[in-house]
Structure 1
Amino acid sequence: MCFIIVVAGLAYLWQYGWPGAPAQGTNPDAMSRMVGLTDPVTNRLADRFTDANDDLVADAPSDPAALLNPDTLVFSYVAVEQAEEYRDRWQPLVDHLQTALGRPVAYLLVRDPMEQLAAIRDGRLHIAGLNTGAVPLAVNQAGFVPVCKLPSADGTGRYHMVFVVPADSPLEGPTNLRGRELTLTNPNSNSGFKAPLVLLWSDFGLRPGRDFDFRMSGSHEHSIEGISNGTYEAAAVADDLVSQAVKAGTLTEDTYRVIYKSEPFPTAALGYAHNIDPALAEQIHKALLEFNWAGTPMDGTVAPVGHTQFIPADYKDDWSLIRRIDDAGGKKYEITGG
């Protein structure tokens, strides 16, 4: 299977409009370039790292002088504009880490993903949570060591991209999207933007703007709502969010159908910097996997109700599909800014 990567998401929005609006005057060749028809690359760990056990993750430095054992550890979860909200939401984990590790843990407010990655690379951020797509870049260029994933609705720590349609839709599969309109979420989304465009092109030969039209809803929630009320013909969304919408009662099972389900993608990951002192790193690893947020404000907000512990991560296997997409699309891992 040949995969390609979506790039230039902001340019896409500038050219094709804002959330909720159908794309107009789409140039198929321009869109194909944005979908990533570029020369493939082979990303690997930066030369300054070693990987003796071939797990594709950087080993701890052999030079004791290069190891970090700070009196105060620093943590942050996924860089977002509303960084203060995430700081408050993840306070139970910070409290747990402080108790388990016997030292203060500060929360780093970061609003830009590159700023967060640069902080890991430069030794200013020791424990972090990263979204799915950022993990391979963090591993290869910042020395991030994934430990665990957020649990999904089925408890596996994986989710799928699905195409959903209204229950009475005549569409039966991806090829039926020819001549139709597909609703995407936003260019920063793997399952709501990158994966659907990649898979429609590589597996079904469908080019956006040539074979199907599209619009941007702005979020998975808006896309799901549009399917529920019949506003949208088809939408690409994450299946765990569909399950959450059903449980919340905002979507009922008699109002939609799934016409396509992708290979699994991993959820967001938590881990630490590779140059943390090995003894401390082992404590962090144990503390993350032992943390149970039942009964805290995190319960039902960071993962589906009923799932209150992280799932162990295997970077080599779990992020295989993400790496293949990035490599085939010519996405060279680089940390810019910061």
Structure 2
Amino acid sequence: MRVRRLGALLGALALALQPFTAAALDARYTDADGDLVADAPTDPKQWVDPATLIFAYTPVEDPAVYAKVWDGFLRHMEKVTGKKVQFFPVQSNAAQLEAMRAGRLHVAGFNTGSNPIAVNCAGFVPFAMMASLKGEYGYEMEIITYPGSGVTKPEDIRGKKMAFTSQTSNSGYKAPSALLREKFGLEPGKDYEPVFSGKHDNSVIGVANKDYPVAAIANSVMLRMLARNVVKKDQLVSIYKSQTFPTTGYGMVYNLKPELAAKVKEAFFSFDWTGSDLLKEFQSTEPPQEKFIPITYKQHWEVVRDIDKAMGISYDCKG
């Protein structure tokens, strides 16, 4: 697998550890088996068995594009589960998290940085991730600029505006913030002006159009946008590339009826990618994403929890 520890960076960050409770589930959930995700309720009265399953993919610049991309997969899920499945075009990470916490979202793909919050606060149970046919997966955080911006290295960000996506994003905020602070001595609000675009797509387009001089993004999103000709390669320059992180985690809310939960899992791992819109969209990343593989939150998100721990981030749930 391509996911590697952040090694030296995390070692440096550990020097500034703050009190941390990131592994603690919200009080409404239990974790008797110690796998760090919410257990299914033991009381059948607490199981959810909706007539329509609601599915949401992580927020993107144009949800309509991804409604089409996911349509074939959702029709497959309908056949496997015997349920109607509806695509829910979320506009933000916060909206996606709140929808699952409130019981309005049943199956979802949460981005890398949102996974720990979704697990701890919304009862999300991730079990799948996209990978290549060889089982390779992951993406890198890149800091990008445009030609002629005057930014050629991270130190040049000083005194400038820098675009992040949202505060829940791993590559769009948490990892680059930690990197700039610990490796380059740059503090947000003091050494540079942080702004938030809301989505990786917005940040990439913003840099390409010279609205932002620099931005931190997930390069998997950027590569797909380049493949679709949303932006041109000569509009962007990368000045930093991180080690590899896990990509979007797919799963379901913890309290689906067990028989239905098993069918949802089956839908992911029985889907035939051959000639699908999913393959057309996601094979342009590196490594290509060509199938779903089984994962666990405890193992595959350890590197992300380590970063959050180093930043003193707590997954305290509101409401």
Normalising TM by the smaller chain, what interval? 0.7 to 0.9
2:317 maps to amino acid: E
Give runs of aligned pairs for residues 185-196 of structure 1, distance below 5 A: 185-187=164-166, 190-196=170-176
The residue that corresponds to 1:18 in the other structure is none
The residue that corresponds to 1:271 in the other structure is 251
State which of 314, 318, 325 in structure 1 corresponds to 2:296. Answer: 314
For the 8 Å contact 2:55–2:105, the answer to whether it is kept is: yes
SS in 2 for 1:271: strand
For the 8 Å contact 1:225–1:251, the answer to whether it is kept is: no
The residue that corresponds to 1:50 in the other structure is 30
State which of 61, 78, 82 in structure 2 corresponds to 1:98. Answer: 78
SS in 2 for 1:310: strand
How many residues align structurally?
Answer: 297
RMSD: 4.1
Give runs of aligned pairs for residues 1-338 of structure 1, distance below 5 A: 1=10, 40-43=19-22, 44-79=24-59, 83-151=63-131, 156-163=136-143, 174=154, 176-177=155-156, 183-187=162-166, 190-208=170-188, 210-211=190-191, 218-223=202-207, 236-241=216-221, 243-244=223-224, 250-251=232-233, 260-302=240-282, 304=284, 307-327=289-309, 328-335=311-318
Q: Could you tell me how far apart the structure 2 residues matched to 1:178 and 1:81 are?
A: 25
Query: Which deviates more, 39-48 or 148-157?
Result: 148-157
* TM-score, scaled relative to structure 2: 0.73
Q: Could you tell me how far apart the structure 2 residues matched to 1:246 and 1:266 are?
A: 21
1:308 maps to amino acid: E
SS in 1 for 2:278: coil
C-alpha displacement at 1:98, in angstroms?
0.7
SS in 2 for 1:132: coil
CA separation of 1:173/1:109 partners in 2, compared to 1, >3 Å: closer, same or farther?
closer
SS in 1 for 2:217: strand
CA separation of 1:246/1:209 partners in 2, compared to 1, >3 Å: closer, same or farther?
same
CA separation of 1:180/1:248 partners in 2, compared to 1, >3 Å: closer, same or farther?
farther
Q: Could you tell me how far apart the structure 1 residues matched to 2:117 and 2:255 are?
A: 17
SS in 1 for 2:267: helix
Q: Could you tell me how far apart the structure 1 residues matched to 2:265 and 2:296 are?
A: 13
* TM-score, scaled relative to structure 1: 0.69
Gapped runs of 5+ residues in structure 2? 1-9
Q: Could you tell me how far apart the structure 1 residues matched to 2:215 and 2:94 are?
A: 29
For the 8 Å contact 1:146–1:271, the answer to whether it is kept is: yes
For the 8 Å contact 1:187–1:194, the answer to whether it is kept is: no
SS in 2 for 1:75: strand
C-alpha displacement at 1:299, in angstroms?
3.4
For the 8 Å contact 2:130–2:290, the answer to whether it is kept is: no
Query: Which deviates more, 301-310 or 212-221?
Result: 212-221
C-alpha displacement at 1:146, in angstroms?
0.3
For the 8 Å contact 1:92–1:293, the answer to whether it is kept is: no
For the 8 Å contact 1:185–1:219, the answer to whether it is kept is: yes
For the 8 Å contact 2:133–2:291, the answer to whether it is kept is: no
CA separation of 1:169/1:111 partners in 2, compared to 1, >3 Å: closer, same or farther?
closer
Q: Could you tell me how far apart the structure 2 residues matched to 1:329 and 1:299 are?
A: 38
C-alpha displacement at 1:141, in angstroms?
1.6
Between the aligned residues of both structures, percent identity stands at: 35
